[in-house]
Amino acid sequence: MADSDVGQLARRIMELVLRHQRTAAVAAGPDRARTGRGDPDRGGTDDGCAAPPGASCPRCLAAHARQVAAAVAAGRPVTFVLPAFPGKSPNPAKVLGVLPDLAERLALGFLDGLCGRIQAVYAPGARVLICSDGRVFSDAVGIPDEHITAYQRALQTLIDRLPHQGVGLFTLDDVPELAGAEHERMRAVLAERYAEPLATLRERVRSGEEVALYRAITRFLFEDGNTPGYTGSRAALQRDARARAYTVIQRSRAWGALLAERFPDAVRLSIHPQPCGAGKLGIHLVETADNWLTPWHSVALDTGDRFVLVPRGEAERRGARLVHSGGRPSHYTMAGARVPAAGGARLSPSVATA
């Protein structure tokens, strides 16, 4: 294939992905104005995309063109790496339980559908490797390891049912040199080999760097810990959340470094908004009212014309009805909501009830 043809095909592939881009220009962190810009992983800069919604930003496209073009030139699938799907929040006011539900199914269906759309223009297709990071920081976020195991096994079952078979799963348990080790040992080895010192991270936050990410993680940890069974003070919980936030960020960065080493040719996706031209590409999985919400911190709510993610408590305050599937809670639906139709963030009836 000529170089010009490779470049054109790589551009078409990237344009399919960029349609769902989550940029810093349109999605601020929880403690910033909704019009704020900046990289939540780097403290924030006024460097959002200038391209209008739905249009491909040339700078963002160029930032990932090399990896895509290399895969096309070699005739192999384009690989995307997405650290995500760690495990369900331990707070029952946010989620329906320990296992994946319709919120995860919607997100997985979107990712698999994206692989299908890429395959329609490029026969070798694409593969999205979900790098589930729950085991990486489960002790710091208050999720028992047995819950992480159950979540990952159920997630794999859902992935195996996807029609395009474009999604894969990679976890800390799949790292060959850690096979068979106890979970605490896995985390210790990861930190020893790939993590920066906590003192260094704390100093950067104190100096004003990475504050948005730190505040966002602190907020999530506070909310996750503020369960009906918690008997301490809000001040004590806030202090504990702030301390644990550093560990979560440190371990997440270590996981990212391991993935970069193991999958050097992959395009790195992120569930967080990213600035224009960043090395990571932010991507929307399911429509949300809060740009920081994820399937594992919320439930799927059928509003009648689409699904959105909201905290469980909000769905119940809005009078939504809980829907069960396969004997387990699945999602919520507003009164008068229609049966889901295929396309967009909707699922076909067969997938929605699988």
The pLDDT, as a whole number, for residue 50 is 62
Report the phi/psi class of residue 105: left, alpha or beta, with left for phi > 0 and alpha for psi in -120 to 50: alpha
The pLDDT, as a whole number, for residue 43 is 34
pLDDT in tens, 278-321: 889 988 898 776 667 899 999 999 999 899 999 999 999 999 99
The pLDDT, as a whole number, for residue 55 is 66
pTM summary value:
0.86
The helix, strand and coil proportions of the chain, stated in percent and rounded to the nearest 5, come to 45, 15, 40
85 pLDDT more than 70: yes
Question: In sequence order, which ranges of 161-289 are alpha helices (DSSP H)?
Answer: 183-194, 198-206, 211-225, 234-262
Is residue 190 helix, strand or coil? helix
Instruction: Place 260 in a pLDDT band, splitting at 50, 70 and 90.
Output: very high
Choice among 45-59, 76-90, 102-116, 175-189 with the minimum mean pLDDT: 45-59
Nearest to 292 by CA among 282, 279, 300: 282
Measure the CA–CA gap between 116 and 291, rounded to whole angstroms: 25
- Sheet of 299-302, strand order: 307-310, 299-302, 328-333, 321-325
170 pLDDT more than 90: yes
Nearest to 221 by CA among 91, 122, 77: 91
Instruction: Place 48 in a pLDDT band, splitting at 50, 70 and 90.
Output: low
Mean per-residue pLDDT of the chain = 86
Is residue 24 helix, strand or coil? coil
